[in-house]
Amino acid sequence: MPEPEGPWSGLEPPPAPPPPPWRRDPRVRLAVTAAVLGLLVLGVWGMTRILPGEVSQEDWPQISYQLGFVALVALGLLSRPMRLGQALRYIAIWGAVVAVVGLGYVYRGALMDAALRLRSALVPAYVQPSAAHELVLSQDDGGGYSVMGAVNGQPVRFAVDTGASDIVLSPADATRLGIDLSRLDFSGRFATANGVGQGASYIAETLDVGPIQLRNVPMAIDRAPMGSSLLGMAFLRRLESFEVRDGRLYLRWRS
């Protein structure tokens, strides 16, 4: 015989209480922490295999400090009253942050080299050091080679011109350097790839092209407008050697 329905018979049963917090066993905490550290150590080892020679003896104390920090974070999170899954997520996030920062510090040389290569590809005028006392210029869209230099500390964009006899400043660059063109004697002549030009002699206090630094550098200032200042043979002859290979211009100088 069915029981009569009461006034509360149509209500849904109350939800089940949440499971009790995970009771942390010290052995489990140590095991999880050791697993996290093991993964980080494995990642560092893998990077040393991919990029050999990038980790020096001076870098290992920094790596040890980062791993110790992750261990303290892991132990602290695992001792707090939270779910195991939540604690593991926090540990993974902190581990990823520390790994990115630590690996960025250790492999800063390789990352900087990659950034320089990318900048050189996007902006060919910026020089890219490729080895000790060697610079590499990428070919621009016109098939030539340009480089950002500095004359008397002021930035100047040069086109490398093996057909030019001198280092030639355009009138616009000379004016920007504070040179009064009206007081110059434009009776001199110099050769360029486009023919013989007429210009004035000028002595620059400094000429910088990347790490190459020259002082008291003779130059010519062209009378006619130019698209770019020129680095001619007067500059290239000061180098130990220069060569074009695989679409790149390599400049080498003595120490």
DSSP letters, 2-66, are PPPP-TTTTSPPPPPPPPPPPPPPHHHHHHHHHHHHHHHHHHHHHHHHHSTT-S-GGGHHHHHHH
Contact yes or no for 137/160 (Cβ under 8 A):
yes
Longest dimension (CA), the chain: 126
3-state secondary structure of 125: coil
Does residue 149 surpass a pLDDT of 80? Answer: yes
In a domain, 156, yes or no: yes
**pLDDT category of residue 125 using cuts at 50, 70 and 90:** very low
Number of domains making up the chain? 2
In a domain, 113, yes or no: no
Residue percentage of the chain with pLDDT more than 90: 22
CATH of the domain at 193: 2.40.70.10
pTM, 2 dp? 0.51
Q: Are residues 56 and 137 in the same domain?
A: no
Residue of 159 and 248 predicted with greater confidence: 159
In a domain, 127, yes or no: yes
Q: For residue 164, which of 214, 226, 254, 240 has the smallest C-alpha distance? A: 226
Does residue 123 surpass a pLDDT of 50? Answer: no
Q: Are residues 94 and 175 in the same domain?
A: no
Does residue 163 surpass a pLDDT of 70? Answer: yes
Q: Are residues 144 and 68 in the same domain?
A: no
**Beta strands 134-138; 128-131: pairing state:** antiparallel
Query: Secondary structure of the chain: what % helix, strand, coil (to 5)?
Result: 40, 25, 35
The residue-averaged pLDDT of 96-120 equals: 56
Does residue 23 surpass a pLDDT of 90? Answer: no
Q: Are residues 183 and 236 in the same domain?
A: yes
Q: What is the structure's pLDDT at 100?
A: 67
Which residues span the domain enclosing 91? 26-106
Q: What is the structure's pLDDT at 255?
A: 66
In a domain, 239, yes or no: yes
Q: What is the residue-averaged pLDDT of the chain?
A: 73
Over 129-186, what HEC string results? EEECCEEEEECCCCCCCEEEEEECCEEEEEEECCCCCCCEECHHHHHHCCCCHHHCCC
Highest mean pLDDT among 4-13, 61-70, 107-116, 159-168: 159-168
Does residue 167 surpass a pLDDT of 90? Answer: yes
Q: What is the pLDDT of residues 169-222, one digit of tens each?
A: 999 999 999 999 999 998 888 877 677 878 899 999 999 998 889 999 999 999
Does residue 32 surpass a pLDDT of 70? Answer: no
Contact yes or no for 96/39 (Cβ under 8 A):
no
In a domain, 30, yes or no: yes
Residue 34: CB atoms within 10 A of its CB come to 12
